[in-house]
Structure 1
Amino acid sequence: MHNHEFVNIYDEVFETIKELKGDVIETHIKRLKELDKLIPPSAMFFCITNTTKRSFEFVSKNFSYATGLDRKKMEDEGMTYWWSRYHPDEASIWLKVLSELMEFTLAEIPQEDRKRVSYIWNYSIKNSKDEYLNVTQHTTPMYFDDEGKPVIGLAHYSVTGSGDRIPMKSTALILNANDEYETIYYKNYSQHLLENKYSHRERDILRLLSLGHSTSEIAKKLFISEHTVHTHRKNILAKTDCQNITELVAKCIRDGLL
């Protein structure tokens, strides 16, 4: 896909009637800069994204540590530069991911609930050594346009290193009354893993199990009974060759399913 085609399709997805100016997020950037000074080097970095300008309003210092790429170039050239590093086999799929997430958001999530939703997707980025790295992006919208489209977001990126590319997938999660995320959308775009084996509720339980929560804690967080949690655990194991939950969680983490 040529770069101008990529940009055109992206603009169609995020077309908006309201451009948010820099002063809207100035306070956030100031706080993030102060926080960034305290964060040690790691393979994780964060940005403030602006879809109306296809720009990064802020890029944290660990961007260069995680990717070997020029942080100033990322800030100056914005998303066009970042997209130029995408794996060529994934660019069109990534646009499909964003388009379908936006369609789901506008059609299925009431406008008043969108501020409680976070989105996760993944792709591959070419680093300074021309090696492709697996990147998982977790974006939380900060501001919306007049139609309720998210246009400013806080994006957190985890770089998991080179090697085999993990299946491309997308997830939308919403915070419940216990400040616990619940899955409301999931899709796997891998040609090798077209079947979505687990339900949204099963994914939430798997994620909480991987964080070390007990059955009773999970039940309270998700507003369900302990019996329901036990039933989901049994059903999850029945869908796999794993002998126990520990083995299953390890497998899901390796496969990039959590």
Structure 2
Amino acid sequence: MNTEDRSEAFKKIFIDYEVETNEVVKETIQRMKQIDKIIPPIETFFASVNILEYKFEYLSKNIEHNLGYTVSEMHENGGVLYLLSKIHPNDAPLLLKAIDELMKYITTKIPADKRDKISCSYNYRIKKKDGTYINILEHISPEYFNKDKIPLFVTSFYTVNGSKNEYPIVAIIKILNEKNGYETLYYKNYSTNSIVSKLTNREIDIVRLLTLSKTSKEIGDILFISSHTVDKHRRNILKKMNFKSTGEIVQYYKDNFIS
């Protein structure tokens, strides 16, 4: 798949969705500008993205620190589509499939009044200006929807994983619950069969919270379940993953770039 074909394929996913206005993203962009003035060079950059027009409404300067491309260079060469053209050729078809299925899940499985609570993430390798590839984990939060509650503008956070390992392409949808804790709605590994694929969404949430050093009681409070239920899930996780300790689970989680 060449760069032009890849760009058209990404565009096609959103072709039926109508952009109404970008007025509502102005406040988000203003916040981004303020953050960009004071944030030091770190292993992350962020953007406000018009996903239908594939346009950066705003792109943070840290993209140059991480990828080598300047903000003006990105805009001059096509913005979002230029960034997408740098995705590793082995990852691009899997990422296309993942994004397409995420959009279909959001628009068919998640009630319209809940879509402003979701967060999506997926990972891929991207080529830096020096020709080397690095791993990126992209977190997306919707900022604005059309009349049919289709997300049109999103905030994207791109985090660099310093490892040069090749990771499976994983796509995730999480939703913010009443206690401001995220619960997994959708998890799919698009590259290979993984032992994590054996886990339920609830078990994936528990693993994620374990990596944040949460206790069973804290996890139970976040997920609205008892600590005894959490402990039962932990035992099931160990059995399914054939691990002996929570430490092994946490390390596997980190090593396999699971979000």
Question: Shorter-chain TM-score: what band?
Answer: over 0.9
Deviates further, 27-36 or 165-174:
27-36
Are 1:6 and 2:6 counterparts? yes
**Compared CA separation, residues 235 and 16, structure 1 to 2 (3 A):** same
CA contact (8 A) 1:132 1:162 kept: no
Distance 1:195 1:214 in 2: 21
Root-mean-square deviation over aligned CA pairs: 1.6
Q: Distance in 2 between matches of 1:98 and 1:194?
A: 22
Kept after mapping to 1: 8 A contact 2:48/2:156: yes
Aligned to 1:157: 158
Q: CA deviation at 1:83?
A: 1.3
Displacement after TM superposition at 1:16 (Å): 4.1
What pairs with 1:123-202 in structure 2 (closer than 5 Å)?
123-161=124-162, 163-191=164-192, 193=194, 196-202=197-203
Task: Please report how far the alpha carbon of residue 181 of structure 1 lies from its aligned counterpart in structure 2 after TM superposition.
Answer: 0.3
Map of 1:36 onto structure 2: 36
Change (3 A) 1:67 1:149: same
How many residues are matched? Answer: 258
After superposing on structure 2, the runs of 4+ consecutive aligned residues of structure 1 that deviate more than 4 Å are none
**Does the CA-based 8 Å contact 2:94-2:191 persist in structure 1?**
no
Output the CA distance in 2 between the equivalents of 1:182 and 1:68: 35
* 1:207 Cα deviation from its structure 2 partner: 0.9
- Superposed CA deviations along residues 105-146 of structure 1, whole A, max 9, x for unmatched, are 111001110000000001110002111110000000000122
Check if 1:242 corresponds to 2:243.
Answer: yes
C-alpha contact 1:119 1:173 (8 A) present in aligned 2: yes
TM-superposed CA distance for 1:227, in Å, is: 1.2
Deviation at residue 147 of structure 1 after TM alignment: 2.2
After alignment, is 14-23 or 197-206 more displaced? 14-23
CA distance in 2, matches of 1:194, 1:94: 20
Give the TM-score normalised by the residue count of structure 2: 0.94
Q: Which runs of 5+ in 1 are unaligned?
A: none
Retained in 2: the 8 A contact 1:46–1:154?
yes
Equivalent residue number for residue 68 of structure 2: 68
Report if aligned partners of 1:57, 1:75 keep a CA contact under 8 Å in 2.
Answer: no
CA distance in 2, matches of 1:94, 1:25: 26
Matching residue's letter, 1:231: K
Change (3 A) 1:194 1:150: farther
Paired with 2:181 and 2:258, the residues of 1 have a C-alpha distance of 18
- Separation in 2 of the partners of 1:202 and 1:218? 11
> Percent identity among equivalent residues?
35
Counterpart secondary structure, 2:241:
coil
Could you say which residue in structure 1 is the equivalent of 2:54?
54
Q: Distance in 1 between matches of 2:232 and 2:121?
A: 27
Report if the CA contact (8 A) 1:20-1:52 is conserved. Answer: no
Residue 198 of structure 2 aligns to a residue in which SS?
A: coil
CA 1:183–1:59: 2 relative to 1, 3 Å? same
SS at match of 1:25: helix
Secondary structure of 1:218 counterpart: helix
> How far off its partner does 1:197 sit?
2.1
Shift of 1:102: 0.7
